[in-house]
């Protein structure tokens, strides 16, 4: 190797290392579900597909009726807190994450209740659905992964809007 080749290799190695460092830092920041699941004042629940099949008639997660989606769901992750400071932090970070990576389907503010629904859309198919609910000093975030039609989501959201009113 010549001196120039060594310089080029060293420069490439440094650039690759920096890219990996920034990518991993960005990835960690973009994953509020994983980050907040580790906090002491946050209740975390993750439901795998095998458990969903065993749940049978259980069809309400975080107050949301998901019975129409049960066959399309791959996993569910839910985080909840009643800590006012943590609720504010979670609402801020989840909102930033969702608006950067997902399409907003619904935003509803009614008194102390604030509900947002975001989706990862691929044509008429929704791969991920994120629901946030803030009420007073509590905050709940639900991530539902799967393959849903827009019609399935509309039916679920009709149930949510009826429950709110």
Question: Tens of pLDDT along 10-50?
Answer: 555 555 544 444 444 344 444 788 888 888 999 988 877 77
pLDDT in tens, 146-160: 888 877 766 666 655
- Average confidence score pLDDT of the chain: 75
Predicted pLDDT at 73: 78
The CA distance from 17 to 11, in Å, is: 10
Q: Which position has the higher pLDDT, 131 or 161?
A: 131
Q: Of the candidates 106, 107, 87, 7, which has an alpha carbon nearest to the alpha carbon of residue 39?
A: 87
pLDDT in tens, 96-128: 999 988 999 888 888 888 888 898 988 888 888
The CA distance from 77 to 49, in Å, is: 11
* Residue 56 in tokens: 């049978």
Predicted pLDDT at 162: 47
Predicted pLDDT at 165: 47
At residue 88 the predicted structure's pLDDT band, cuts being 50, 70 and 90, is: very high
Q: What is the DSSP letter of 3?
A: H
The CA distance from 31 to 38, in Å, is: 12
Predicted pLDDT at 107: 86
The CA distance from 59 to 69, in Å, is: 9
pLDDT in tens, 40-77: 999 988 877 777 666 655 555 555 555 556 667 788 88
Predicted pLDDT at 63: 58
Structural domain boundaries in the chain: 1-30, 40-164
pLDDT at 137 over 70: yes
DSSP conformation letters of 113-148: EEEEEEEEEETTEEEEEEEEEEETTEEEEEEEEEEE
Are 150 and 117 contacting, i.e. CB atoms less than 8 angstroms apart?
A: no
Predicted pLDDT at 150: 75
């Amino acid at each position: 190797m010549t001196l120039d080749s060594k310089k080029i290799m060293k420069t490439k190695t440094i650039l690759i290392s920096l890219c990996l460092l920034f990518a991993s830092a960005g990835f960690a920041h973009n994953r509020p579900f994983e980050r907040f699941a580790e906090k002491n004042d946050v209740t975390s629940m993750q439901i795998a597909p095998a458990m969903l099949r065993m749940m049978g008639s259980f069809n309400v997660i975080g107050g949301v009726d998901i019975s129409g989606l049960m066959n399309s769901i791959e996993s569910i992750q839910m985080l909840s807190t009643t800590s006012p400071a943590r609720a504010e932090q979670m609402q801020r970070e989840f909102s930033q994450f969702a608006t950067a990576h997902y399409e907003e389907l619904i935003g509803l503010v009614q008194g102390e209740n604030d509900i947002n629904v975001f989706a990862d859309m691929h044509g008429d198919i929704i791969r991920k659905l994120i629901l946030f609910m803030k009420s007073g000093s509590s905050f709940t975030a639900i991530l539902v992964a799967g393959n849903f039609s827009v019609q399935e989501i509309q039916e679920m959201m009709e149930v949510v809007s009826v429950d709110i009113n």
